[in-house]
Amino acid sequence: MTLYRQLIIFTVVLFLFLFTGTWYAKLANTRTFLTNQLESHVQDTATSLALSISPHVAQKDLTVVEGMISALFDRGYYQKITFADPRGKVLIERTLPVRVEDVPQWFVALVPVKTPEAVSDVMAGWNQGGSILVKSHPGYAYATLWSEVISMTVWFAACAAFLLLAAGIGLRILLKPLAAVERQADALCRKEYQVQESLPRTREFKSVVEAMNRMTVKVKEMFEEQAARAEGLQERAYQDPVTLLGNRRLFESQVNADLGRQEHNGCGLLILLRIHGLDALNQKKGLQAGDELLKRVATLLKSSLTAYADTALSRLTGGDFGIFLPDASPVEGGIIATEIAAQLGRVAMEKIALTDNIGHLGVATYQGGTTLPRLLAEADLALSAALQKGANGWELRAVTGETETLPQGQQHWKDALVRALEERRITLDAQGVIGNGPGRKLIQLELFARIMQEDGKALDAALFMPVAERLKLVSAIDRMVIEEALKVDYRRLGVERVAINLSPTSLEDDAFRSWLYAFLKALPAGAPHVNFEFSEFAAVQHLDSIREFAAAIRACGHGIGLDHYGRSFSKLGYLQSLHPEYVKIDRAYTGELSGGENDSRFYVASLCSVAHSIDIKVVAEGVESEAQAAILKELNLDAMQGYFFGRPQPLSSYPTVR
């Protein structure tokens, strides 16, 4: 019960006590006053009547006496008048039954009124001729009492209503600072740091508000300190200080992790970009000019790769940049290389380099198993060939023969995707997310979409989604994936939560958003809780739209998660406003975990600490061994996911709970 209600109840009870006491005292005083009046009145009546009938009693004219008594009895309001002789024998008697009209009987029974009576001697000359007894009727007293009670109750009720209204308004005004403190405390629980600038005048409330402000500032400083420590560790260990991209160490970790998770028939590409004339630019215009060129190239690379969520982009050394796209087709390599080469031509027009020949690109594609050294060697050979093609040229080489099953060219891709959508040739694979507690229970299934080609071979989402982004088909694919995913009865699989990857581009489609909100609201009671996953890079790039989307689906009982957490060098403060249900630490950091105390271990612990401080769960992806799982358990992560616990398998054949 709120303090406001308690104070209102206390005020009401206090008023009731006051009212009851005052009401009783007023009733008692009124009853005493009326009783005294009745006693005075009945005594005066007896005396005056005795004097009036004395001459007639002396003449023994009882007829006149009786007439006088009857006249008085009829005019007054008496219960009884009697005339007795000196020996006490009643000679004349008039009585009236006690019936109190217009007064409830319960009131008559509850409030007894003493009925007074008076006796006066009647003289006959010098001798006593008899006595008169007059007994008052209580009806008048009860009527007066009842009228007083009604008027008094109405008055007190009016006072009570006014008092309650005034007390309610007054208490709301007085407790307004307390309500502000409550909102501040709730915001602090949500890890929102609100400081009250306006202090209340009440001394006690002012002290409370000042204490809350101090605590809020302190908690905010603690979070910012944790975030700064984690960001600093990431920058020192994994970030290039000039371009703010990843360094060679992070690039190698990401590529090796992605190659390690791919199947034997996996595909992808590595692009090596080399900037020319960097040393000469540094010598002629200074190191700052060289740094500006590197930063400009880093910016254009990031803008050219925004559609690819799983991209590894780093500055390797000097003027060399590395780009790795797992599950990308050779067609994608040509499209990306063409776009980057065109961007390099635009940089040349800005005259920030010594020559128009900014750089060349070597693209190495692979189909099947390969290694990072092999990819780098092939990309370097392709780069050497590109040097013969003129300024800002590019060349593509294949590590193995390129698959003939993939669509070739953009129109072929579009036709293949449109046919797949029309025929609903989308299948779902599932991989479990395992809790870090005792028994390693399955807590969530992550679903991966694949398109079945006409020859029966499957294409992973990472392979066709970039193409779908360019062809404006991504929202149609996301819609079909969600529809297919939520047809399944997950209770038989023993899970209540599923994760579905969603493209931020779909959120820009008003029709898709409207459909999705209506679809989620119409789900039956037994439907699973859905977490829509976005890559950290996409979340930072589309922060406002994803925040709005998260608020809408949380109203339906669902949530969001962030994938590849730590791959993007973003400030961690955005987590406070977005507040996802969980984040997944990128497999590049998981892959570096070992038994010793290394940078990756410290960084994972710092990321975990920052996320937990704002009530966000942490999941490690890419767990491949018992040793990694043991280290992650020590680091107090909430859950793990990876081949160590099981590879993705078709959702239709996922093991059921018996």
- State phi, psi for 456 to the nearest 5 degrees: 90, -5
The answer to whether residue 182 sits within a structural domain is no
Q: What is the pLDDT of residue 323?
A: 94
Write down the pLDDT at residue 658.
Answer: 57
Does 302 score more than 80 pLDDT? yes
CATH number of residue 334's parent domain: 3.30.70.270
CB atoms within 10 A of CB 650: 12
> Comparing C-alpha atoms, which of 41, 27, 23 is closest to residue 145?
27
pLDDT value of residue 447: 93
Domain endpoint, select from 337, 371, 398: 398
427 and 291 in one domain? no
Q: Is 250 exposed, middle or buried (0-12, 13-18, 19+ CB in 10 A)?
A: buried
Nearest to 339 by CA among 303, 293, 391, 375: 303
Whether 451 is covered by a domain: the verdict is yes
Asked which of 103, 138, 161 is the last residue of a domain, the reply is 161
pLDDT-based confidence at residue 322 (cuts at 50, 70, 90): very high
Q: What is the pLDDT of residue 548?
A: 92
Same structural domain for residues 585 and 503?
yes
| Confidence tier at 361 by pLDDT (50, 70, 90) | very high
| Same domain, residue pair 443 and 387 | no
Question: Is residue 352 scored above 50 in pLDDT?
Answer: yes
> In which element (H, E) is residue 448 found?
strand 442-452
What's residue 439's pLDDT?
80
Give me the mean pLDDT over the 422-447 stretch.
89
Question: Sorting pLDDT into bands at 50, 70 and 90, what band is 497?
Answer: very high
Quick one: 326 and 428 in the same domain?
A: no
Domain shared by 271 and 370, yes or no: yes
Residue 361, judged by CB atoms within 10 A of its CB (0-12, 13-18, 19+), counts as buried
Read off the DSSP letter of residue 272.
E
Q: Are residues 495 and 642 in the same domain?
A: yes
* Average pLDDT of span 136-153: 82
Based on the fold, state whether residues 336 and 464 are members of the same structural domain: no
Residues 505 and 628 in one domain: yes
Do 355 and 327 lie in a common domain?
Answer: yes
Residue 125 pLDDT exceeds 80: no
For residue 420, tell me if it sits in a domain.
Answer: yes
pLDDT at residue 403 in the model = 43
Q: Can you give the pTM of this predicted structure?
A: 0.60
- What token pair was written down for 625? 């061994």
Domain of residue 605, CATH code: 3.20.20.450
pLDDT single digits (tens) 9-54? 887 788 788 888 887 888 888 888 888 888 888 888 888 888 888 8
Q: pLDDT value at position 411? A: 64
- Looking at the structure, tell me whether residues 379 and 425 fall in a common domain: no
Q: What is the pLDDT of residue 401?
A: 46
Helix (H, G, I), strand (E, B) or coil at 529: strand
Domain that holds residue 393: 264-398
- Asked whether residue 406 carries a pLDDT value surpassing 60, the answer given is no
- 243 in a structural domain: no
CB–CB of 566/585 below 8 Å? yes
- Residue at a domain's end among 347, 372, 398: 398
- AA identity, residue 454: E
Domain count across the chain: 3
Q: How confident is the model at residue 191 (pLDDT cuts 50, 70, 90)?
A: low
Q: Does some domain include residue 551?
A: yes
Query: Which of the given ranges, 234-248, 385-399, 432-446, 604-618, has the highest pLDDT on average?
Result: 432-446
Question: Does residue 215 sit within a domain?
Answer: no
Which residue, chain included where needed, has tokens 């062809």? 471
Whether residue 512 is predicted with pLDDT greater than 80 in this model: the reply is: yes
Say which range, 455-469, 496-510, 538-552, has the weakest mean pLDDT. 455-469
Q: Using a pLDDT cut of 70, give the percent of the chain over it.
A: 94
| 62, pLDDT greater than 80 | yes
Identify the band that residue 100 occupies on the pLDDT scale cut at 50, 70 and 90: confident
In this structure, are 385 and 474 located in the same domain? no
Maximum average pLDDT range among 105-109, 163-167, 312-316: 312-316
Say yes or no: 436 and 560 in one domain: yes
- Amino acid type, 527: A
Q: Is residue 619 part of a domain?
A: yes
In a domain, 183, yes or no: no
CA distance 562 to 583: 5
